[in-house]
Structure 1
Amino acid sequence: MRALMVRSIGPGVTVQDLGRAGLLGSGLSRGGAMDRLALYEGAALLRQSPGLAAVEMAGFGGVFEASADMRIALTGAPMRAEIDGKAVAWSASHLLPKGAQLSIGPAVLGFYGYLHVGGGFDTPVRLGSRSAHLAGGIGSAVAAGDTLPVADDPDPGVIGFGIDAEPRFEGGTVRVLCGPQTPLFADNELARFAAETFRRDTRGNRMGVRFLPSGAPFKSEVGLSVLSEVVVPGDIQITGDGTPFILMAECQTTGGYPRIGTVLHADLPRVAQARPGDTLRYEFVDIDKGMAIEAAARKDWQRPSARIRRLVRLPEEIPDLLSYQLIGGVTAGDDLERHDQ
């Protein structure tokens, strides 16, 4: 059996894919990877489906040993990585030889890093997904001593590629759509929300992330007296203390806090990758602009070939090869003879 043996592991490491759609009515949110874009980037590096499961690492990785030669890709938040003590590039694909150990340390930027394998992890499918959904009681975190089965790899020869990762690891601006509860906030509150800079709190997990304003708390016209309604990842709830809480992959399916808007799905990776202390700003966009942003992001996620490059360039793939100085330092070969004279 092809597998990765887990020799040591950090906290909050789980197996994730794109999650479970269509189960909100049964009380189960989608779940899946916090940074879904990272799954598409890993799939592009290994030339396989983005729906395959990967290991999601929350701030810190672990040590893994291969039972057979296998391809791997590393995406998401850049982390320090080594194969048998030799540093390897992040946002890239590599060969992990049989018996070799892959060591993944802390995140350098961002928070969620991803380890992909050729063929994907072959862990049990539950309700149509291999994702652990800890809030829903499905699956469990990866533990030291676990053996993670790996499916057959249909294209074992494709390695040595890198991808220019979309920038999303140091906070920034996220786009927000107005929703049915946005009118519950006065115009001056909405304007202040759009002008504010928020700092990512230490409190946050796969259910949601809290952001602290630098100024006064926010409030709606009706206070907290809102009937519970269906909520989805990206919804921004204004909690009882007036701070925004962005719902994420494993959020509940209903909520009663007033929602000031919803972060576009295209920008949720930026929210997920914010570390405590990172800052975010929110930009309200109308429905037409929001749909255009989502369509462009979907196209880019599904066709990232323009961002793929070889880690080591082949001479036959360099169109301007003759413009390089390839023979600098060539001499007549009699340097030592002339030096002795």
Structure 2
Amino acid sequence: MIALQVHQVGQGVAVQDLGRTGFLSKGLTRGGAADRLAVHEGAALLHQSPDLAVLEMVGTGGTFEATEDMRIALTGAEMTAHVDGAAVAWNASHALAKSSVLTIGPTRTGTYGYLHVGGGFETEQMLGSRATHQSCGLGELVTAGDVLPIGADRGGDVGLTLPRDTRFDGGAIRIVPSMQTSDFANETREKFEATTFRRDPRANRQGIRMDSDGDGFATPKALSIVSEVIVPGDIQITGDGTPFVLMAESQTTGGYPRIGTVLPCDLPRVAQAPAGAALQFQFVSLEDGAAIEARARAAWAALPKAVTALVRDPATLQDLLSYQLIGGVVSATDAPLDRG
């Protein structure tokens, strides 16, 4: 059996995929990877489906041994990574030989790192997904001693990389109006957009608290709201005026007012923001939001075309002459500076 043996692992490491759909009416949110873009990036690096299961790591990874030759990719929050003691690049794919030991250490940037394997992890499926949904008791966290089975790999190149984007340092988050946006006064909504928030350390896969200076963001209609459907990305305002961005394992219903909803394509930026990172929310119309989301989905689907070689082979460089590889060469027998 092709598998990864887990010798040591950090807290919160779990098998994830793109989550479960169709169970919202039963009280189960989609769940799945906190950074869905990272799942698509790993799939592009291994030229396989993004539907395959991956390993999500929070803060630190672990030590894993390959039972057979396999391919791996590393995406999401950058972590220290070594194979048999030799450092390997993040946001890239690599060969992992039989009996080799992969060590993944703490994060350098971001929050959630991802380990992908050729063929995907083939842990037990529950309700059509392999995603671990901790708040609902579906699946368990990875622990030392586990053996994680891996599916059949169709094969392909390794030593591939993708450019990293800026989602690991906070930044601008686009939101659309939600069910109660109009319940907030115009000046409150304007203040919300003008406020620079800090990602609070109090965060998990259910929601992330947004901290800021000054007064909170209240609405006089907060106590009259009937509990209704909730989706990941909703920004709830609690009784003390504090915003919480709901994430992959959010509840399915709630009665707190929602000032807006984060576009799905921007949720990875919220998920990856480290504690203390600055975030600022910007309202866009539903029409503009739909167009932005469509463009993002197209860009995610096109990621395989953006993959390049991690170490470029000079034999394949059509623009080799532009590198001026022989610039600055002088003759050993005809040195102008030696002539009087």
TM-score normalized by the length of structure 1: 0.95
Counterpart residue type for residue 12 of structure 1: G
Deviation string 1:123-169 (CA, Å, 9 cap, x unpaired) is: 011000000001011001000111000011111x4100000133200
Deviation string 1:249-277 (CA, Å, 9 cap, x unpaired) is: 00110001000010000100000001111
Q: Match of 1:305, SS?
A: helix
How far is 1:53 from its partner? Answer: 0.3
Q: Within 5 Å, give how 1:188-227 maps onto structure 2.
A: 188-227=187-226
Q: Within 5 Å, give how 1:123-202 maps onto structure 2.
A: 123-155=123-155, 157-202=156-201
CA distance in 2, matches of 1:130, 1:85: 31
Counterpart residue type for residue 233 of structure 1: P
How far is 1:315 from its partner? Answer: 2.2
Q: Match of 1:271, SS?
A: helix
How far is 1:214 from its partner? Answer: 1.8
Q: Match of 1:169, SS?
A: helix
How far is 1:180 from its partner? Answer: 1.9
Q: Match of 2:105, SS?
A: strand
1:94 corresponds to 2:106 = no
Aligned to 1:77: 77
How far is 1:279 from its partner? Answer: 1.2
Which segments of structure 1 move beyond 6 Å, counting only runs of 4 or more?
330-333
1:263 corresponds to 2:249 = no
Aligned to 2:336: none
Aligned to 1:43: 43
CA distance in 2, matches of 1:327, 1:262: 55
CA distance in 1, matches of 2:39, 2:74: 10
Contact 1:224 1:240 in 2 (8 A): no
Contact 1:3 1:67 in 2 (8 A): yes
Q: Match of 1:297, SS?
A: helix
Aligned to 1:12: 12
Aligned to 1:336: none
Structure 2 residues not aligned, in runs of 5+: 334-340
Aligned to 1:338: none
Deviation string 1:106-138 (CA, Å, 9 cap, x unpaired) is: 111100000000000010110000000010110
CA distance in 2, matches of 1:291, 1:52: 26
Contact 1:186 1:221 in 2 (8 A): no
How far is 1:307 from its partner? Answer: 2.8
Q: Match of 1:138, SS?
A: coil
CA distance in 1, matches of 2:161, 2:63: 22
Q: Match of 1:119, SS?
A: coil
1:53 corresponds to 2:53 = yes
How far is 1:321 from its partner? Answer: 1.4
CA distance in 2, matches of 1:326, 1:278: 41
Q: Match of 2:42, SS?
A: helix
Contact 1:41 1:165 in 2 (8 A): no
Contact 2:47 2:304 in 1 (8 A): no
CA distance in 1, matches of 2:82, 2:239: 45
Aligned to 1:322: 321
How far is 1:305 from its partner? Answer: 3.3
Tell me the matched-pair count.
Answer: 334
Q: Match of 2:223, SS?
A: coil
Aligned to 2:30: 30
CA distance in 2, matches of 1:306, 1:211: 36
How far is 1:320 from its partner? Answer: 1.8
1:308 corresponds to 2:307 = yes
How far is 1:330 from its partner? Answer: 8.1
Counterpart residue type for residue 188 of structure 2: E
CA distance in 1, matches of 2:78, 2:150: 23
CA distance in 2, matches of 1:309, 1:324: 17
Q: Match of 2:114, SS?
A: strand
Contact 1:67 1:98 in 2 (8 A): yes
Q: Match of 1:295, SS?
A: helix
Q: Match of 2:60, SS?
A: coil
1:274 corresponds to 2:273 = yes
Structure 1 residues not aligned, in runs of 5+: 334-341
Counterpart residue type for residue 112 of structure 2: Y
Q: Work out the percentage of aligned pairs sharing the same amino acid.
A: 58
How far is 1:325 from its partner? Answer: 4.0
Counterpart residue type for residue 10 of structure 1: G
CA distance in 2, matches of 1:224, 1:315: 67
CA distance in 2, matches of 1:132, 1:277: 27
1:284 corresponds to 2:283 = yes
Counterpart residue type for residue 318 of structure 2: P
Q: Match of 1:242, SS?
A: coil
Alpha-carbon RMSD across the aligned residues, in angstroms, is 1.6
Contact 1:199 1:212 in 2 (8 A): yes
Counterpart residue type for residue 88 of structure 1: V
